[in-house]
A and B are shown apart, each in its own frame.
Chain A
Amino acid sequence: MKDLAIGATGTTGRLRIGIDVGGTFTDFVMADAETGRVALYKEPSTPDDPSRALIEGLDKFLAREGMAASDVGGLMHGTTIGLNAIIMRRGAKIGLIVTKGYRDILEIARCRMPSSFDLHAQKEVPLVPRARVVEIDARFDRDGKLTRAPSEAELDRVAREVSALGLDAAALMLINGYADPETEAGIAKALSDRIEALSISSAAAIWPEIREYERTLVACLNAYIQPLMDAYFARLTEGLARIGVTAPLLVTASNGGSLSVGSAVARPVETILSGPASGVMAAVRQAGQSGMDNIITFDMGGTSSDMAVATEGTAGIATRTDIGGLPLVLPVVDVNAIGAGGGSIIWADAQGVLKVGPQSAGAHPGPVSYGRGGTEPAVTDCFIASGFIDPANFGGGSMPLDGDAARAALEAVAERIGMSGEDRAARLAEGALAVASAGMAGSLFRTMAERGLDPRDFVLLPFGGAGPTHANLLAEEIGIARILVPQAAGAYCAMGAAGADLRRDFVRSLRAGLTEASAADAEATFAALQAEGEAWLDDELPEIAERRAERSADMRYAGQAYELRVDLRPGDDAAAYAEAFHREHERIYGFRDAGAPVEIGTIRLAMIGAGQPLAPSTATGTGAPVRTRRPLYYKGAWVEASVYDRAGLGEGAKITGPAVVEQPETTTVILPGWAARVDEQGNLIIERTPA
């Protein structure tokens, strides 16, 4: 599999292509190394087999751009197949083997309910039903000593029971296995060897971090999506070969980097959140090129909106996220859902109060204006009624929308909240967008409060189909003064994919008081992880020259219930470790406890092979020709806005709000009191005009 994908490392094609498969569209970005040109393309997704839209779209895109398959030098691809399978619980039939006494590890989980107030709340559906969990008399103590070694007879018994379950795959988790992953892997192999055609993965070998439930989940999630992903990439590689593309295919990962197909098939769990992560990475790179280091990304999609925060040019990384109700502890780009998306439904409750979401019309049936059977108005319908988007020119005219139907549906809701008069559709739309903005701003303020940051110090960077349309409303609500809308905003996850680094995270749990001896242990562990990382890169793409390793450790004051992730440097001694921790504690929590003993927990190393940087994009047009004018509804009145074609805007072009900038993938709205200029990379920089 891997050889097939990576075999053609000698290719010198000039094009790098980023591909992101979404629910509605499969997005393509093509970066031409010779000309520096960046082109975008969208193909309707084919959810039954996402590889079909990918192959057909790529073929059409190449033809449209007059390029040959042999011009393609690299493909970077993100997919949500794994994520969808987890959310819909449509993965493989897997089993779990655990230490005796822990059969209910997935049932008990962390013991929390999703809601405190709901008398009807249910817990998440476990990935492995209780009947497919088999106990084994094996466990380690806290020092990694195998205190219960399974006998041959016990291994035979477990193998027999597991075999009888008829599984696609299985995972093994032994208590305290994180302290000796090699031995646990050996037991997994001893079991695998006893069962024909069943792979059993060791949780400790995949992710040797302390906390048995979370580690079990990593292994189960991995096994759960592996067969699907394997089949998908096989189809994809075959399809690419069919249209003559032989360039290496890389798969984007949740940590913002990418992996070879071989690695992605071995550890698909590392790729499940890759789409949003890629978009954030593209935003960080783009903003960095424009000299902006502190950004909040705003990705408004069909069902919801996401945000992420980057400070000093680095995107935040989370080591605990939620995947369909299950916690994931792998490092991922920290993306937070903040509320309404374009498909969120606008409704009135029994008391006549206006509501936005949480139900979504999604892509099917979609907003009323899509004309696919949706009857309840959605946020996208509000954009139409407010004049923010032109229904006739949606998707560059490829997908005209029904503006009259959108207005009629909004009028019906307006009546339910006692709103009447000529412009009630537009007034209701403005109200609903304000409700949506207030909800998003609230989530954003909370996310920032957790980190002790003030959003007003940040630049808002919108992307996704509706991000640039809503961004100015959101910026006004938050009090942000500057917005950067990149050229490729409408296909930004694909853009991020095209520029991704290779990256893999490694982990080991130490758990010791911080002393010279334990700091030396940590250094030795870092060195071992780095060697593992180097070997991985050599295997992945040996010609990658620019490599770096990022070190960090989870640390805490002795007795504290929470840990902080602290960045460390090679050669740090115990004093340097302690100071790095005190400093981080002070930054986040406002105090340090210089006298308290410090403990070191999990050691983390990210191995990165730098991808080729994309050439900065450039402005495509000249000047700022007004294409047409149309009224926008804003603060209870219609204001006449100039409408521009994004492709026609040249560097230095200046636009004064109210204005609309259209491109096939998205529409940018510039409100009264705001003005935009086009920078040399073709970004729209929108700023509040001084009063």
Chain B
Amino acid sequence: MSSLDPVLLEILGNKFASVTEEMCLTLQRTGRTLYVKETADFACALAGLDGRFFAYPRSIGVSGFVGLECLPAIEAVIATQGALEPGDVILTNDPYRSTGLATHLPDLHMIEPYFHDGEIVAYGWCFVHCSDVGGRVASSISPVNTEIFQEGLRIPPVKLMRRGEMSPEVKLFLDANSRTPEANMGDIRAMLASLATGRRRVAQMLGQHGAFELTAAQEALMSYAAGKAEAVLRQMPEGRYSFADYLDDDAASRLPVRVAVTIEIKDGKVHLDFTGTDPQVATAMNIPSCGRPHAWLTLRMLALVQTLDRSAPLNAGLLRPLSITTPLGSLVNPEEPAATGVRHAAAIRVNDILNGAFGIALPDVLPAAASGTVIPIVMSEPKPTGGRMVQVIEPLIGGTGARRGHDGVDGRDSGISNLANNPVETVEAELGVEVLHYALRSDSGGAGQWRGGCGMELSFRVLTDGSHVLGRGMERLLFRPWGQAGGQPGQPGSLVINEGHPRERRLGKIDVLEVQAGDIVTFRTPGAGGWGDPMQRAPEAVLADVEAGFVTAERARRDYGVALTGGRIDTEATAALRSAAGTNAGTVFGPERDTWDGVFAPALMDRLNAALLALPLSRRQSRRREIFETVLADLPTNFPRSPVSDTQREAAARRLETCLNTI
């Protein structure tokens, strides 16, 4: 492996990682806005001369950006604004002009070159999700934006700081293009403070260890991590593994959005090919990867290595054995000017398909699908003094998927973010709501030899007329979190107003919902997928779930073939039920997906997406819409929620074939 002494390597690895955490703590301490203080939507790291992160914080800030690349932004600045000098700091937020360093406009990214004896020895990097960068809506993000121009001020890589002085021109542009210029400047100053912390601590390390060791360590740490990743990949059977999944819709239409991947594992390396993924959408869910092995597309790979080797250092070397194909113009490599504001929504499903594909290779290691949803439930109510009070009630998530030997975790899921919830008492102290029910959702976890984690249920009574409820991020209301190895999928999510009352309304996805005092709003998040044939689950484990209330006695009988009488297992009846049940195997997507695939078969979808991508960008969306309208024309309006007849299915599939042949 590396040429550096294995003791020094460990020491410097620890120290560099610790410097990045100190940078984060400085940023968090001095930052001003909610995103910094509460949700820790920021990160800091150290990059080498190749612009890749050789040190990244483990326990604070956004964990997923290890794979970002700084070099394109650095080169763009040098090409247009001259060489970097001590005290210069680059600022950018534009996904396209920073070649994927930034991934949506509210994320402000900064890079500072760290010098030693007139030479750059490393770069400090940090980003913050700031409050607002202008655009069509407050806070700049809306799922229904169609172009990046609606999403706010685009900042191409520029020198914000020149030799330690803030560029007045850049500041004027920034201040003029935000609804919250002061808060933004507060966060920018916190970012500069964190970069200064990094500079000071790197200088201290240079004094202790010398420039030669420090630069040698950067490469050594990356190749050390690469060695760890390769060792993990070599544990996997070589081969090609394909997996596809759907987002319920693209936020503007009811058409599902497909993400697909084929991974090829060979010789300690892995290639991810996203061919078969839908064309970019006319909403803000696109992931601007710029064709690179981007952080948003490779997160699961990092998590997998870290899971199988906890001693692996967290740096970009983990991605060295990985290469990628992302069709240009697709959801995962959109062309300018695609909107990208809510790219994390698609990233959640990217995580799921990588999980599914790696799960075929390593069935004993990877779990079934997690609930795959993060819904910050936001309440906006009129204040007596005028204006509106806006506050998160709870960020609702679901559970984690089961895996061989372990049930999923109920009501927790750190797959995308690891946010804390809000105490109900502080919510009630500030908002006009009464939280009636904040609980795990019984029977929602997918049945399996190991049960999927339960989703959650939040029910609250509105106390103020004219309030608005926002539930962005609702997903898996249609396509369920799939089960693995014969495990069943979790229950889909739902939203009900005044459940059980005469005024009951069952709603699908909402953006903004107007409610009145007395209304009761109930959100349910999906349960996660189960693992293994539920008929193989130990009856004692089923009984324990029934006693704890995670599973009802009816479902114990129906889903697990376990009969309970008077709180005890009826052994004979159980044996009879189980021998009558068929066996379950493979990935189980659930009835909606099966119905969908009956018409839109995977092979046809691959062909469709290839054909659509061959069209010019301007015609792709409209052509796609036409095709789906044609195919769906004679199907029931709630397709694929209810099953269709064979005749209907075959006719629709024939229409799809015809369309494919005439694109």
Complex interface: chain B residues within 8 A of A348 (CB): 6
Complex interface: chain B residues within 8 A of A438 (CB): 10-11, 14-15
Which listed residue (B15, B63, B311, B434) contacts A117, Cβ 8 A?
A: B63
Interface membership of A560, Cβ < 8 A? yes
Question: How far, in whole Å, are A123 and B418 apart by their CA atoms in the complex?
Answer: 12
* A130 B550 Cβ-Cβ under 8 A: yes
**Stretch from B22-30, B334-342, B499-507, B531-539 that touches the partner:** B22-30
Complex interface: chain A residues within 8 A of B201 (CB): 445
* A446 B18 Cβ-Cβ under 8 A: yes
Name A324-357 residues within 8 Å CB distance of B: 348-355
Assuming the A-B contacts A113-B413, A434-B7, A442-B17, are A349 and B421 also in contact, with contact meaning beta carbons closer than 8 angstroms in the complex? Answer: no
Question: How far, in whole Å, are A212 and B204 apart by their CA atoms in the complex?
Answer: 45
* B367 A119 Cβ-Cβ under 8 A: yes
Closest chain A CB from B250 CB (angstroms): 28
Complex interface: chain B residues within 8 A of A445 (CB): 18, 22, 201
Closest chain B CB from A395 CB (angstroms): 30
* A108 B547 Cβ-Cβ under 8 A: no
Report the contact-size class of chain A (Cβ under 8 Å from the partner). Answer: 35 or more
Interface membership of A142, Cβ < 8 A? yes
Question: How far, in whole Å, are A349 and B419 apart by their CA atoms in the complex?
Answer: 32
Interface membership of A175, Cβ < 8 A? yes
* A120 B425 Cβ-Cβ under 8 A: no
**Stretch from B301-309, B470-478, B592-600 that touches the partner:** B301-309
* B32 A591 Cβ-Cβ under 8 A: yes
* A590 B30 Cβ-Cβ under 8 A: yes
Interface membership of B1, Cβ < 8 A? yes
**Stretch from A4-12, A99-107, A498-506, A537-545 that touches the partner:** A99-107
Question: How far, in whole Å, are A178 and B38 apart by their CA atoms in the complex?
Answer: 24
* B30 A119 Cβ-Cβ under 8 A: no
Assuming the A-B contacts A110-B420, A119-B303, A435-B11, are A351 and B409 also in contact, with contact meaning beta carbons closer than 8 angstroms in the complex? Answer: no
Which listed residue (B231, B417, B423) contacts A350, Cβ 8 A?
A: B231
Interface membership of A242, Cβ < 8 A? no
* B227 A351 Cβ-Cβ under 8 A: yes
Interface membership of B412, Cβ < 8 A? yes
Interface membership of A450, Cβ < 8 A? yes
Question: How far, in whole Å, are A142 and B429 apart by their CA atoms in the complex?
Answer: 6
Question: How far, in whole Å, are A442 and B29 apart by their CA atoms in the complex?
Answer: 18
Interface membership of A635, Cβ < 8 A? no
Binary per-residue interface labels of chain B (22-51) against chain A in the complex, 1 for a CB within 8 Å, 0 otherwise: 100110011010100110000000000000
Interface membership of A393, Cβ < 8 A? no
Closest A residue to B453 by beta carbon equals: A123
Interface membership of A637, Cβ < 8 A? no
Which listed residue (A101, A511, A589) contacts B439, Cβ 8 A?
A: A101
Which of B21, B421, B425 has the most C-beta atoms of chain A within 10 angstroms of its own C-beta? B425
Assuming the A-B contacts A116-B63, A590-B30, are A449 and B425 also in contact, with contact meaning beta carbons closer than 8 angstroms in the complex? Answer: no
Closest chain A CB from B122 CB (angstroms): 17
Closest chain A CB from B495 CB (angstroms): 18
* A/B pair count, beta carbons within 8 Å: 184
* B186 A591 Cβ-Cβ under 8 A: yes
Question: How far, in whole Å, are A213 and B303 apart by their CA atoms in the complex?
Answer: 30
Interface membership of A575, Cβ < 8 A? no
* A176 B428 Cβ-Cβ under 8 A: yes
Interface membership of B112, Cβ < 8 A? no
Assuming the A-B contacts A118-B307, A131-B549, A590-B30, are A353 and B428 also in contact, with contact meaning beta carbons closer than 8 angstroms in the complex? Answer: no
Interface membership of A122, Cβ < 8 A? yes
Question: How far, in whole Å, are A121 and B1 apart by their CA atoms in the complex?
Answer: 30
* B412 A112 Cβ-Cβ under 8 A: yes
Interface membership of A532, Cβ < 8 A? no
* A108 B421 Cβ-Cβ under 8 A: yes
Name A231-267 residues within 8 Å CB distance of B: none
Interface membership of A291, Cβ < 8 A? no
Interface membership of A418, Cβ < 8 A? yes
Complex interface: chain B residues within 8 A of A432 (CB): 7
Interface membership of A594, Cβ < 8 A? no
Which listed residue (B29, B403, B419, B425) contacts A175, Cβ 8 A?
A: B425
Name B304-331 residues within 8 Å CB distance of A: 304, 306-307, 310-311, 314
* A111 B420 Cβ-Cβ under 8 A: yes
Assuming the A-B contacts A111-B411, A121-B414, A449-B26, are A353 and B17 also in contact, with contact meaning beta carbons closer than 8 angstroms in the complex? Answer: no
Closest A residue to B221 by beta carbon equals: A353
Interface membership of B111, Cβ < 8 A? no
Interface membership of B469, Cβ < 8 A? no
Interface membership of A211, Cβ < 8 A? yes
Which listed residue (A113, A142, A210, A354) contacts B10, Cβ 8 A?
A: A354
Closest chain B CB from A611 CB (angstroms): 35
Complex interface: chain B residues within 8 A of A352 (CB): 1, 6
Interface membership of B92, Cβ < 8 A? no
Question: How far, in whole Å, are A130 and B186 apart by their CA atoms in the complex?
Answer: 45
Question: How far, in whole Å, are A479 and B204 apart by their CA atoms in the complex?
Answer: 10
* A212 B548 Cβ-Cβ under 8 A: no
Complex interface: chain A residues within 8 A of B395 (CB): 111
Closest A residue to B36 by beta carbon equals: A561
* B425 A210 Cβ-Cβ under 8 A: yes
Closest A residue to B550 by beta carbon equals: A130
Closest B residue to A105 by beta carbon equals: B438
Question: How far, in whole Å, are A141 and B426 apart by their CA atoms in the complex?
Answer: 12
Complex interface: chain A residues within 8 A of B429 (CB): 142, 210, 511
Assuming the A-B contacts A435-B7, A438-B11, A438-B14, are A113 and B409 also in contact, with contact meaning beta carbons closer than 8 angstroms in the complex? Answer: yes
* B549 A212 Cβ-Cβ under 8 A: no
Closest chain A CB from B223 CB (angstroms): 9
Assuming the A-B contacts A113-B409, A449-B197, are A130 and B548 also in contact, with contact meaning beta carbons closer than 8 angstroms in the complex? Answer: yes
Closest chain A CB from B643 CB (angstroms): 34
* B7 A417 Cβ-Cβ under 8 A: yes
Interface membership of B456, Cβ < 8 A? yes
Interface membership of A439, Cβ < 8 A? yes
Which listed residue (B14, B227, B425, B459) contacts A435, Cβ 8 A?
A: B14
* A589 B30 Cβ-Cβ under 8 A: yes
Which listed residue (A116, A120, A561) contacts B37, Cβ 8 A?
A: A561
Closest chain B CB from A420 CB (angstroms): 13
Complex interface: chain B residues within 8 A of A446 (CB): 18, 21-22, 25
Assuming the A-B contacts A108-B421, A112-B418, A142-B429, are A129 and B548 also in contact, with contact meaning beta carbons closer than 8 angstroms in the complex? Answer: yes
Closest chain A CB from B212 CB (angstroms): 18
Closest chain A CB from B413 CB (angstroms): 7
Interface membership of A443, Cβ < 8 A? yes
Interface membership of B224, Cβ < 8 A? yes
Complex interface: chain A residues within 8 A of B426 (CB): 210-211
Interface membership of A588, Cβ < 8 A? yes
Closest A residue to B414 by beta carbon equals: A113
Complex interface: chain A residues within 8 A of B14 (CB): 435, 438-439, 442
Complex interface: chain A residues within 8 A of B418 (CB): 112-113, 116
Interface membership of A186, Cβ < 8 A? no
Closest B residue to A416 by beta carbon equals: B6
Name B382-415 residues within 8 Å CB distance of A: 395, 397, 403, 406, 409-414
Complex interface: chain A residues within 8 A of B549 (CB): 103, 130-131
28 contacts between A and B (CB under 8 A): A103-B439, A103-B549, A111-B419, A112-B419, A116-B63, A117-B58, A119-B303, A119-B366, A141-B434, A175-B425, A212-B424, A352-B6, A353-B10, A353-B311, A355-B10, A417-B6, A434-B11, A435-B7, A438-B10, A438-B11, A438-B14, A442-B21, A449-B25, A560-B37, A561-B34, A562-B37, A591-B30, A591-B186
Q: Closest 8 CB pairs between A and B? A: A442-B18, A431-B7, A561-B38, A113-B414, A101-B437, A111-B421, A130-B548, A211-B423
Given contacts A108-B438, A131-B549, A213-B423, 10 further A-B contacts (CB under 8 A): A104-B411, A104-B438, A111-B395, A111-B412, A113-B414, A123-B410, A142-B428, A175-B424, A445-B201, A591-B186
Interface residues of B (CB under 8 A from A): 1, 6-7, 9-11, 14-15, 17-18, 21-22, 25-26, 29-30, 32, 34, 37-38, 58, 63, 186, 193, 197, 201, 204, 224, 227-228, 231, 302-304, 306-307, 310-311, 314, 365-367, 395, 397, 403, 406, 409-414, 417-421, 423-426, 428-429, 434-440, 456, 459, 547-550
